[in-house]
Amino acid sequence: MIKDYEEIEPCGMSSGWIDKYAEKLASELNFGLGDDIKDKVVTPLGGKVEEIPLDEWTSNDSVIIRKANDFKITIESLIILERKRFSIAHELGHYFLHSKQGEVPMSVHRLGWNPIVEAEASHFGLCLLMPKTKFLEAFERDSRPVELAIESCVHTSSARKRMQMLNVD
């Protein structure tokens, strides 16, 4: 049975653990800064991404996880690429942290109700899009947030947040 969003428990792992886990996954999937998250992460894991206009979004679900290698992420089609990438990475946070890669089937609402669950997924998303080692290598080449954002294909505020997380701001 698919767990409804209200039943989802925080994973309870530390920020440092989530950071290392996301970096390990990025390495295993050969996913680097600015890479196509759908081609390099979602598809190899058996997932799908559906992009639809907000006014046609009839479901409250942003990700439905049926089982391992069977999940669908829904995102708004009319948002900028950097936001799409973060939304996908965030939903992957639910897949990896809360569903345990499909071990716990669930439906996650697009308007998250549990701030801890959402914070964990967002933290995972930032760490996946900007794996620590690759991000720090990019930082050594050019420490300007805008350049890091361009290389990582994220919003400048996300690059700044990652810099703060890694104490290099």
State the amino acid at position 154 in one-letter form. V
pLDDT at site 108: 87
- Which structural domains are found in the chain, ordered by start? 5-130 (1.10.10)
pLDDT at 30 over 80: yes
Pairing assessment for the beta strands 47-52 and 70-76 based on DSSP bridges: parallel
How many other C-beta atoms can be found within 10 angstroms of the C-beta atom of residue 149?
20
Which residue from 110, 85, 92 is spatially nearest to 44, judged by alpha carbons?
A: 92
Distance CA 22, CA 133 (A): 11
Q: What is the distance, to the nearest Å, from the Cα of residue 128 to the centroid of all Cα atoms in its chain?
A: 6
Q: What is the pTM of this model?
A: 0.94
Q: How confident is the model at residue 73 (pLDDT cuts 50, 70, 90)?
A: very high
